[in-house]
Amino acid sequence: MKASQLFTKTTKNAPANETARNAQLLIQAGFIHKEMAGVYAFLPLGLKVIENIKTIIREEMNAIGGQELIMTSLQAREKWEVTTRWNDDVVDVWFKTKLKDGTEIGLGWTHEEPIIEMMKPFISSYKDLPVNVYQFQTKLRNELRSKSGIMRGREFFMNDMYTASIDATQHDKIYNGVMDAYVRVFERLGLGDDTYVTFASGGSFTKFSHEFQTVCETGEDIIYIHRKKNIAINEEVLDDETLQKLGITRDELEKVKSSEVANIFNFGTDKSEQMDLTYTDEKGDKKFVHLGSYGIGVSRLMGVIAEKLADDKGLVWPAQIAPAKVYLARLSEDVEVVKASDKLYDDMRKRGIEVFYDDRDVRAGQKFADADLMGIPYRIVVSEKTCQSGKHELKARTESDNKMLDNDGILEYLATVGS
């Protein structure tokens, strides 16, 4: 990845029509492009961050037996009428349109009903259960408010998982396994210390749900956290009954602003009964399938991380999701400097180290500012001075001190940090 070949450019000025800090920085750094309120295109650098987040989620979903698929964005009205969720009074975020023949269809905002319909031909016996499937998909929701950049979009990337079980016992085991997997996801993303399992309302999904809320000053939710127990309660369901159920008192709770980054719902057999999803048990009796639905906001996570970790210089990405691990800044067009930079670039790539190579003929100050704005974890400077000494400058994005290392020292150091 070379700067001279990247079609996007950074900009010093934040877009005037964008109030969200995450979107301002991501646009300035050339990670996203704003199409309209709540709708963003993900440019090459931004897409790399999205794909790195997806990789972490995919690994954890596969580890608990998830099978990946992808559903359609176009939704048949009839499936949703069965559960009443086609009704705009029940679900107020639908985007709806019509086919050429006048047939009304919806654009996918979630996928429970289509997944249930899809499972019917494949589930007939208890031997066919449990089932655990997931997807990464673009969701479309006609949100009333969309002023938080990619933290709340009308079009966004989501990982949604759906499980089918023979009974409540099997379902609870899977449900808890997904919760544990989500905890691992947020730990790997660097959000583990600030993300809480939160008791909340299920909205248009179920009566109650568990959310994963990340403490964030620009978040749109209010939660009350219990740091010792590592749990939280959404403000909307904070009452004496909830407190008693969780075994805590109101004075033990701390009020904070947060952003919902994931949620999970236990449907029990309600949707199976509505849509007639059944299986035959060992005795030959027909039973309704127990269902669960789980979702992580992939693009929202990117926005939350951008919002939480940024400093006054720009973005700060954890190494595991950054678009590159190293920003290689070449400070001269001198033949020896070019040669040394090219060699270091090739050596790092051979070692599997992702590198953003700034090979442009621009001022050093511009390269340093871009390195900070993009938030790439490590910056290496190659100049006439470093070539003469045989050691180049290596600096971590969040540290002021730098190291002077030769090529072998750089490769050895990078192999041991930020992985």
- Give residue-wise pLDDT tens across range 69-82: 999 999 999 999 99
Given a cut of 80, whether residue 418 has pLDDT beyond it is no
Given a cut of 80, whether residue 85 has pLDDT beyond it is yes
The model's confidence at residue 204, banded by pLDDT at 50, 70 and 90, is very low
How would you classify the pairing of strands 67-68 and 131-140?
Answer: parallel
The model's confidence at residue 145, banded by pLDDT at 50, 70 and 90, is confident
Q: Which pLDDT does position 367 carry in this prediction?
A: 96
The model's confidence at residue 207, banded by pLDDT at 50, 70 and 90, is low
Given a cut of 60, whether residue 302 has pLDDT beyond it is yes
- Give residue-wise pLDDT tens across range 211-253: 999 999 988 899 999 988 888 999 988 988 888 888 899 999 9
**Across 268-281, average pLDDT:** 96
Residue ranges of domains in the chain, CATH in brackets: 7-309 (3.30.930.10), 326-414 (3.40.50.800)
Q: Determine what percent of the chain is predicted with pLDDT higher than 70.
A: 98
Q: How far is CA 241 from CA 183, 230, 237, 247, in A?
A: 26, 19, 9, 10
Q: Which pLDDT does position 230 carry in this prediction?
A: 86
Neighbours of 4 (CB within 10 A): 9
- Strands, E, within 28-130: which ranges? 32-36, 39-42, 67-68, 74-76, 95-98, 104-107
Given a cut of 90, whether residue 156 has pLDDT beyond it is yes
**Rg of the Cα trace of the chain?**
24
Given a cut of 80, whether residue 108 has pLDDT beyond it is yes
Given a cut of 50, whether residue 205 has pLDDT beyond it is no
Helices 298-309, 21-28: inter-axial angle, 10-degree rounding: 90
Vertex 108 angle, CA 323 and 104, to 5°: 145
Q: Which residues contact 70 (CB under 8 A, 6 or more apart)?
A: 135, 136, 137
- Give residue-wise pLDDT tens across range 345-393: 999 999 999 999 999 999 999 999 999 999 999 999 999 999 999 999 9
Given a cut of 60, whether residue 157 has pLDDT beyond it is yes
- Give residue-wise pLDDT tens across range 45-68: 999 999 999 999 999 999 999 999
**Across 328-334, average pLDDT:** 96
Vertex 93 angle, CA 92 and 98, to 5°: 100
Q: How far is CA 262 from CA 183, 196, 259, in A?
A: 10, 10, 9
The model's confidence at residue 208, banded by pLDDT at 50, 70 and 90, is low
Q: Determine what percent of the chain is predicted with pLDDT higher than 90.
A: 85
Q: Which pLDDT does position 203 carry in this prediction?
A: 54
**Among 57, 58, 26, 60, which residue's Cα sits nearest to residue 43?**
26
Q: Please state, in angstroms and rounded to a whole number, the distance separating the CA atoms of residues 312 and 20.
A: 15
**Among 223, 155, 167, which residue's Cα sits nearest to residue 195?**
223
Average pLDDT for the chain: 94
